[in-house]
Chain A
Amino acid sequence: MKLWKRLMCTCRRRSPWLFHMNSGSCNGCDIEFVAALTPRYDAEQLGVLLQGSPRHADILCVTGPVTRKAADAIKTVYAQAPGPKAVVAIGSCPATTNVFIESRTLEGPLGRHIPVDVFVPGCPPRPDAILQGVAKAAAILAERADHPPAAAPVIKPDAVEVQR
């Protein structure tokens, strides 16, 4: 049983499948994210595959400051991804809402809606940094295999609302 758990841990770390979500990003981070998957950076060495369906994904890569329209969609897609799963917030927008701060059309940052495991800061971040973030998220995911979190993660809105 212990051996099976260790095997599962390794397999989760070595096979992160990604799903890319845009929550109202300016497209800068999306371009860098796609660049990280090109042959030049060869993410497949880490076992990374970009998947078309959130049902197949282990790691959700979210860009953008979470607009009012995108907030519900993000929660839906997060619920559609089967556990265990991890979330990587790409760029400064999902972390702090960046230059769009105090905009009326935003419901960000991302941490108010879904639990975020890794933040990759930058405007936009470099592809290497995104890959490092994905690798870190895969390691977190593997650790989580043995210690599953509570069924519904509790998000405190005021805990992450720093600047408001």
Chain B
Amino acid sequence: MSLTTALARLLIFPGLLFAVPAAWFFLWVERKAVALMQGRIGPPFMQPFYDFIKLLGKDVPVREGIGGLLMKAWPLLAVSSAAGAVALLPVLPAQGGFQGDLILLLALLEVPSMCIIAAGFSSRSIFGEIGSAREAVLSVSYNIVFLLAILSIAVSQHTFRLEALAGLPATPLRWLGVAALLACLPAKLHINPFSLPNAEQEIYAGPMTEYAGHELAMWELAHGLEWVAATGLVATLAAPRFALWWLAALAFVALSFAVVLLLAVLASATARLAIDTTVRFYWHCTLIFAVLAISSALIMRFRS
């Protein structure tokens, strides 16, 4: 991949120019779906855009010293890494990519959550620290399942290249991995029943408690981009193959949309669990699932 195509992918498609409206759209779909489930009309179509612009126009409290600089840096780092993760998604077939881009995508997907942990601790707010501690515990428990699920898919199909993975036919093992991924997404995107780190009202706003104005707008944007990247990853692995490029792109977008709807329905149907229940869920139930997936993937690999 040359520098020009890499820049085009990062900035235009499927990078920032495409991903930012997509992020707002997904945030709206989530809120609207929850509203419809509760029998109300819900926010207007442009609501995430209004929120973002309004936050850009608000004052930011003056913070001094290295702590203040760090607090400014975390949201920018989160946004740029989430945008980079989106840019790696093979939305259009035959777009390029390189061996090992799956590993880079996983690493970039992990950066926003690390930024949230660091932001909560550097804000020095007690609520931020509680939220960060919860995020750290949560990410340790769901990430093992998340990584094992992806690893089992990659190992069974002999490649760490996203585009090659997307092109290969789906096996039963792949569906098992996708199901494990879906189980991790609510925790990764901080929605019910695993909305523990931000836990609205319960611990004020968690790691975001001290953020205001354009910094908060960047966090919102990073969250939206995480939605696009995470649902896009599932769509890449689960979308059916089509020869026509526009049909493939359409299938990708439709599948991401379906995943967002599924997660929104789950979020509105459940209440927040306690941290110990959540951790137990990931360690007991889904870890067994993921270990089964990876061991069968390894066996398949040595047999073939």
Interface residues of A, Cβ cutoff 8 Å to B? 7-8, 10-12, 14-15, 17, 39-40, 42, 44-45, 47, 50-53, 55-56, 58, 80, 82-84, 145
Residue ID in chain B nearest A55 by CB atoms: B212
B44-52, B88-96, B221-229 - interface stretch: B44-52
Residue ID in chain A nearest B200 by CB atoms: A52
Contact digits for B216-251, partner A, Cβ 8 Å, 1 yes 0 no: 100000000000000000000000000000000000
In contact, A44 and B57 (Cβ under 8 angstroms) = no
Q: Enumerate B105-157 residues with CB–CB distance to A below 8 Å.
A: 127
Taking the complex as formed, is B42 at the interface, i.e. its CB lies under 8 A from any CB of chain A?
A: yes
Interface pairs A-B: 9 shortest CB-CB? A42-B40, A53-B205, A11-B53, A39-B38, A82-B59, A52-B204, A55-B212, A11-B54, A52-B205
Q: What are the residues of chain B within 8 A of A45 when measuring CB–CB? A: 40-44
Given A39-B40, A42-B40, A82-B61: A47 in contact with B205 (beta carbons within 8 A)? no
Given A11-B50, A82-B58: A55 in contact with B41 (beta carbons within 8 A)? no
In contact, B35 and A55 (Cβ under 8 angstroms) = no
Residue ID in chain B nearest A51 by CB atoms: B205
In contact, A83 and B200 (Cβ under 8 angstroms) = no
Q: What are the residues of chain A within 8 A of B278 when measuring CB–CB? A: none
In contact, A82 and B44 (Cβ under 8 angstroms) = no
In angstroms, how far is the closest chain B Cβ from the Cβ of A47? 6
Q: What are the residues of chain A within 8 A of B209 when measuring CB–CB? A: 52-53, 55
In angstroms, how far is the closest chain B Cβ from the Cβ of A119? 24
In contact, B53 and A56 (Cβ under 8 angstroms) = no
User: In whole angstroms, what is the CA distance A131 to B60 when docked?
Assistant: 27
Q: Enumerate B1-51 residues with CB–CB distance to A below 8 Å.
A: 31, 35, 38-44, 46-47, 49-51
Taking the complex as formed, is B201 at the interface, i.e. its CB lies under 8 A from any CB of chain A?
A: yes
Taking the complex as formed, is B208 at the interface, i.e. its CB lies under 8 A from any CB of chain A?
A: yes
Tell which of B47, B57, B202 touches A14, judged by Cβ atoms closer than 8 Å. B47
User: In whole angstroms, what is the CA distance A55 to B213 when docked?
Assistant: 8
16 contacts between A and B (CB under 8 A): A8-B54, A10-B50, A12-B57, A14-B44, A14-B50, A42-B35, A42-B41, A42-B42, A44-B35, A47-B44, A47-B50, A52-B206, A55-B205, A56-B205, A83-B58, A83-B59
Taking the complex as formed, is B210 at the interface, i.e. its CB lies under 8 A from any CB of chain A?
A: yes
Taking the complex as formed, is B211 at the interface, i.e. its CB lies under 8 A from any CB of chain A?
A: yes
User: In whole angstroms, what is the CA distance A12 to B42 when docked?
Assistant: 18
In contact, A55 and B57 (Cβ under 8 angstroms) = no
Q: What are the residues of chain B within 8 A of A12 when measuring CB–CB? A: 54, 57
Q: What are the residues of chain A within 8 A of B210 when measuring CB–CB? A: 53, 55
Q: What are the residues of chain A within 8 A of B35 when measuring CB–CB? A: 39, 42, 44
Given A11-B53, A47-B50: A82 in contact with B200 (beta carbons within 8 A)? no
In contact, B51 and A47 (Cβ under 8 angstroms) = yes
Tell which of B57, B201, B206 touches A145, judged by Cβ atoms closer than 8 Å. B57
Q: What are the residues of chain A within 8 A of B40 when measuring CB–CB? A: 39-40, 42, 44-45
Q: What are the residues of chain B within 8 A of A8 when measuring CB–CB? A: 53-54, 57
Q: What are the residues of chain B within 8 A of A53 when measuring CB–CB? A: 127, 204-205, 208-210
Q: What are the residues of chain B within 8 A of A17 when measuring CB–CB? A: 51
In angstroms, how far is the closest chain A Cβ from the Cβ of B247? 36
User: In whole angstroms, what is the CA distance A23 to B216 when docked?
Assistant: 27
Q: What are the residues of chain A within 8 A of B43 when measuring CB–CB? A: 44-45, 47
Q: What are the residues of chain B within 8 A of A56 when measuring CB–CB? A: 205, 208, 211-212, 216
Residue ID in chain B nearest A8 by CB atoms: B57
In angstroms, how far is the closest chain A Cβ from the Cβ of B294? 39
Tell which of B53, B127, B203, B208 touches A7, judged by Cβ atoms closer than 8 Å. B53
Residue ID in chain B nearest A12 by CB atoms: B54
Residue ID in chain A nearest B42 by CB atoms: A44
User: In whole angstroms, what is the CA distance A80 to B60 when docked?
Assistant: 10
Task: Beyond the given A44-B42, A82-B213, please list 13 additional residue pairs across the A-B interface where CB-CB is below 8 A.
Answer: A8-B53, A11-B51, A14-B44, A15-B54, A17-B51, A42-B40, A42-B42, A44-B31, A44-B35, A52-B204, A52-B206, A53-B204, A80-B61
Q: What are the residues of chain A within 8 A of B213 when measuring CB–CB? A: 82
